[in-house]
A = this chain, B = another copy of it.
Amino acid sequence: MRRVVVAGIGQTVFGKFLHRTVRSLAEEALSSALADSGIEAEQIGVTYFANALSGLVTGQETIRGQVALRNTGVMGRPIINVDNACASGSTAFHLAWLAVASGQADVALAIGAEKLTHEDKSVTFGAFASGVDVEERARLQMDAPQGHSVFMDIYAERARRYMASSGATPEDFALVCIKSRQAASTNEWAQFRAPVTAEEVLGSRMISTPLTLNMCSPIADGAAAAILVSEAFAQRLAKPRVYVKASAIVSANQDGLGTTAAERAANAAYEAAGLGPEDIHVAEVHDASAPAEIMLYERLGFAAPGEGVALLRDGVTSVGGRLPVNPGGGLLSRGHPVGATGIAQLIELTTHLRGTAGARQREGARAALAECSGGQLGADSALAAATILTNF
């Protein structure tokens, strides 16, 4: 397998753009990634297009990438549509990495685009409900009549169990939100950049106890793209070299028990990279709700079980800390256009490894980890993806 370089990155601002299309978002992210790389669209050998929920919002399914990119120079060559729920973008990135690593292509594009806003909010929430086993959903009467995604009830239940076992409090979850907004304040692509206070977070509308509105990742539209190339191809490019050191995807266990998907994905990536959690300088994790970020500190090996909260309270994971987590604002503040999220995480990490992350730069960053979970099966995520980038 060949070494693979992240040669170009680009994204749209994430936010609510009722009148923009998947195509318009995808075209903007692609143009931006091409400009960043100095590569022409015609040089892209294969495209992996990630989209999870727009089919149910817009009616466009099955040839989503070909439709979104039909006016661009990637046409003619293979376009493969992938969908792995919230980890769809990570999956596209994984396959693009594999295409280059295996020698199938010298230049591969991973692009995720999502259109979630709809005049009727129930259409959007209904789309999210396709990310669980729909038969199980019906059997367990999980459909949320309150006008929010069924996932927030799932996350709330996890949060309650974590509070009971760890001593974490709603104030800790508010701290995740405050930290997230601080990070996003310098991210021009983020949906929410204004600071929040603990009072505002705890006082915002209760969605599913203990999760208040501010603790839940928002509905967003947006797109993100990454161009991966072989090391030989990268010789002709000017950007600082960032490598895909490892990429792993796992699914839930058959019985839904045992080690979580997130933990197994991270362990597989650490092993493939020959690195451990102690080697990671900056991370982006799947904070679809605020408590999830703290739980992930433990699952990814950044903290021992039960000690994630201490890491947060001590500021270790804030911008300026030893191990900034979600320096781009995470799903909570950057926003969560589902199919784009996994790639947006890797874009943020790439800027740190290039040394171009500006005010939120993790100084001396050498290795970075992205983790993204997807969907829900029984007690675990349906899948998880972990990617390690390095600049050595």
CA–CA, A101 and B99, complex, Å: 11
Given A66-B251, A252-B66, A252-B70, also A134-B83 (CB < 8 A): no
A121 at the interface (CB under 8 A from B): no
Given A62-B130, A85-B62, also A103-B70 (CB < 8 A): no
A88 to chain B, nearest CB (A): 8
Q: For A127, list chain B residues within 8 Å (CB).
A: 61
Once the chains bind, are B91 and A98 in contact (CB under 8 Å)?
A: no
Interface residues on chain A, size class = 35 or more
Residue interface bits A322-362, CB-to-B below 8 A is 1, else 0:
00000000000000000000000000000000000000000
A31 at the interface (CB under 8 A from B): no
Q: Residue on B with the closest CB to A67? A: B133
A249 at the interface (CB under 8 A from B): yes
A76 at the interface (CB under 8 A from B): yes
Once the chains bind, are B63 and A55 in contact (CB under 8 Å)?
A: no
Q: For A183, list chain B residues within 8 Å (CB).
A: none
CA–CA, A248 and B77, complex, Å: 9
Assembly stoichiometry (copies): 2
Once the chains bind, are A102 and B252 in contact (CB under 8 Å)?
A: no
A225 to chain B, nearest CB (A): 17
Given A56-B55, A103-B1, A131-B63, also A252-B76 (CB < 8 A): yes
> Which single member of B83, B99, B252 contacts A64 (CB below 8 Å)?
B83
The A80-99 residues at the B interface (CB cut-off 8 A) are 80-85, 88, 91, 94-95, 98-99
Q: For A52, list chain B residues within 8 Å (CB).
A: 61-62
A71 at the interface (CB under 8 A from B): yes
Once the chains bind, are B1 and A72 in contact (CB under 8 Å)?
A: no
The A99-128 residues at the B interface (CB cut-off 8 A) are 99, 101-104, 127
A150 at the interface (CB under 8 A from B): no
A375 at the interface (CB under 8 A from B): yes
Once the chains bind, are A78 and B251 in contact (CB under 8 Å)?
A: yes
A273 at the interface (CB under 8 A from B): no
Q: For A60, list chain B residues within 8 Å (CB).
A: 130, 133-134
Q: For A59, list chain B residues within 8 Å (CB).
A: 129-130, 134
Given A55-B55, A56-B55, also A84-B85 (CB < 8 A): no
Q: For A132, list chain B residues within 8 Å (CB).
A: 63
Given A101-B102, A102-B102, A383-B63, also A78-B249 (CB < 8 A): yes
Given A70-B133, A102-B103, A133-B67, also A82-B82 (CB < 8 A): yes
